[in-house]
Amino acid sequence: MDSSAKIIVLVGLMGAGKSRVGIELAKLLKRPFVDSDKEIERAAGMKIPEIFATLGEAEFRAGEKKVMLRLLAEGDKVLASGGGSFMQDEIRASVKSSATSVWLKANLETLVERTSRTDNRPLLRGVDRAAKLQELMDKRYPVYAEADITVVTDNQSPKEMARRILKELEKRDRAL
Ligand code: S3P
């Protein structure tokens, strides 16, 4: 087993619950929890909406790649990735070679409900939220499906989700 093999990466759309579930899963696994969006913000010294507004999405994606590749090279953790992260070829390849990936699959209704609680996602600002999320589901779900494990998240608490994921991980030696 290589030194970075104990990384669990949570993948999924905005509102799928990657951070909340990740925190619970990290407790169960007794591993650190890292949120890649927070790491990007720390590296940039700016919040994500500000990065999008001042530098643009392309710069955000470049920063996201840099931060994710660093986090994937560093060892044990539960890593909540930003929704667009697994869509970048280089990041996805690195996740596949150095981590176990878990897709938190949610339906449109759940995503709309959960993302409407905050206004910190530039891709959902000033647009029809449901239409945009549906567009992203169409584009991204076939790629998220490449994750090692898929769990459907609707109507479940983060704790329940984490317990289910742990069971799935227990079936896979590499992750534990
Ligand atoms: C994005 C998802 C966000 C954040 C950025 C872009 C995306 O993260 O990285 O706003 O492209 O789906 P969350 O999935 O944690 O909300």
Write down the pTM of the prediction: 0.94
Cα 1 to averaged position of ligand 1 atoms, centre (Å): 31
4: pLDDT confidence band, cut at 50, 70 and 90? very low
Residue 5 has pLDDT above 60, yes or no: no
Cα 166 to averaged position of ligand 1 atoms, centre (Å): 24
Dihedral-angle region of residue 80 (phi above 0 means left; psi in -120 to 50 means alpha; beta otherwise): beta
Which range among 2-11, 100-109, 140-149 shows the weakest confidence by mean pLDDT? 2-11
pLDDT at 2: 40
* CB-neighbour burial class of residue 38 (10 A; exposed 0-12, middle 13-18, buried 19+): middle
Residues with CB under 6 A from ligand 1: 14, 18, 37, 48, 82-84, 121-123
Which atom number of ligand 1 is nearest to the Cα of residue 18?
Answer: 15
Assign 74 to helix, strand or coil: coil
Distance separating alpha carbons of residues 1 and 176, to the nearest angstrom: 10
Strand 149-152 relative to strand 100-105, pairing: parallel
Residue 1 has pLDDT above 60, yes or no: no
172: pLDDT confidence band, cut at 50, 70 and 90? confident
pLDDT at 155: 87
